[in-house]
């Protein structure tokens, strides 16, 4: 597949829209990064969710499919006989018995996503699953745990808003990147990372061991980021 071009995220909370912009660019969609950033829904604590990126894509005329591993939000049994309507019903019922603020916000976003025509899948995360997308020339926008991916100390927000790495006070952080290929011989995934000064490589493009990447995606559940977002141009 062709190389993914990704901009540097302007600040600490725009990795999601910057990654989405890279997918749009991959499909020769000339929307500006500023426009994408300004039209995304954000969380009160900063950042966004993969489902908000999916909603943006659907409203722009794309198709959007999410492969979720977020067991905080989805029960595996919901997918035994999956349908959009079934998921809508379960999400609405769960919201009534789990009124936690972030869960409710995420739930409402998924309800909107499904009503707009998006689909949610629950399928084993594996190198083969990712390779299937790459073989079809489809980039994968994924939410993951940056602390595990970068193998660095957890992050702490200072009083002046600066983020520092602190192995005692810090907490693990979520992140979005775009995946663009799989080297089966070396077992490495090609990553386009909007955080150009990341502690792993100090660069936006690199290859990472497939098992480290998969573990990073699964650990994204801590910040509701454990998902793959697959976007295709609409008909």
Tell me, what's the pLDDT at 166?
Answer: 86
Three-class secondary structure of residue 54 per DSSP: helix
pLDDT in tens, 106-117: 999 999 999 999
What's the rounded Cα separation, in Å, for the pair 114 and 94? 16
189 by Cβ neighbours in 10 Å (0-12 / 13-18 / 19+) ranks as buried
Residue 205 counted as domain residue:
yes
Q: What is the mean pLDDT of residues 25-47?
A: 93
- Domain extent for 42: 15-232
Tell me, what's the pLDDT at 235?
Answer: 64
What's the rounded Cα separation, in Å, for the pair 218 and 68? 9
Residue 127 counted as domain residue:
yes
**Number of domains composing the chain:** 1
Tell me, what's the pLDDT at 211?
Answer: 95
For the question of whether the overall pTM of this predicted structure is more than 0.85, the answer is yes
Where do runs of H (alpha helix) occur along 60-208? 84-97, 101-115, 127-135, 146-150
Q: Judge whether 16 and 39 are in contact, CB under 8 Å.
A: no
Tell me, what's the pLDDT at 135?
Answer: 96
CATH (domain of 188):
3.90.70.10
- Of residues 221 and 83, more confidently modeled: 221
Residue 84 counted as domain residue:
yes
Residue 132 counted as domain residue:
yes
What's the rounded Cα separation, in Å, for the pair 42 and 186? 37
Residue 130 counted as domain residue:
yes
* DSSP3 helix / strand / coil % (the chain, rounded to 5): 40, 20, 40
Tell me, what's the pLDDT at 186?
Answer: 94
| Arithmetic mean of pLDDT over the chain | 93
Residue 1 counted as domain residue:
no
Residue 10 counted as domain residue:
no
What's the rounded Cα separation, in Å, for the pair 217 and 195? 17
Residue 91 counted as domain residue:
yes
User: Is the pLDDT confidence value at 128 over 80?
Assistant: yes
């Amino acid at each position: 597949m062709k190389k993914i071009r990704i901009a540097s995220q302007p600040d600490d909370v725009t990795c999601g829209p910057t990654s989405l912009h890279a997918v749009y660019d991959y499909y020769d969609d000339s929307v500006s990064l500023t426009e994408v950033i300004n039209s995304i829904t954000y969380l009160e604590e900063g950042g966004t969710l993969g489902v908000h990126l999916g909603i943006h894509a659907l409203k722009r005329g794309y198709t959007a499919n999410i492969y979720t591993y977020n067991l905080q939000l989805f029960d595996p049994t919901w997918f035994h006989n999956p349908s959009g309507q079934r998921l809508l019903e379960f999400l609405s019922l769960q919201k009534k018995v789990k009124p936690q603020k972030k869960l409710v916000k995420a739930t409402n976003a998924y309800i909107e996503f499904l009503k707009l025509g998006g689909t949610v899948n629950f399928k084993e995360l594996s190198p083969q699953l990712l390779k299937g997308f790459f073989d079809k020339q489809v980039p994968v926008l994924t939410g993951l745990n940056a602390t595990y991916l970068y193998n660095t100390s957890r992050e702490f927000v200072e009083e002046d808003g600066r983020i520092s790495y602190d192995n005692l006070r810090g907490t693990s952080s979520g992140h979005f990147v775009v995946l663009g290929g799989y080297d089966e011989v070396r077992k490495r995934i090609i990553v386009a990372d909007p955080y150009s000064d990341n502690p792993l490589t100090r660069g936006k493009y690199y290859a990472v061991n497939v098992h480290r990447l998969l573990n990073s995606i699964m650990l994204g559940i801590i910040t509701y980021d454990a998902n793959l977002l697959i976007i295709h141009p609409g008909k």
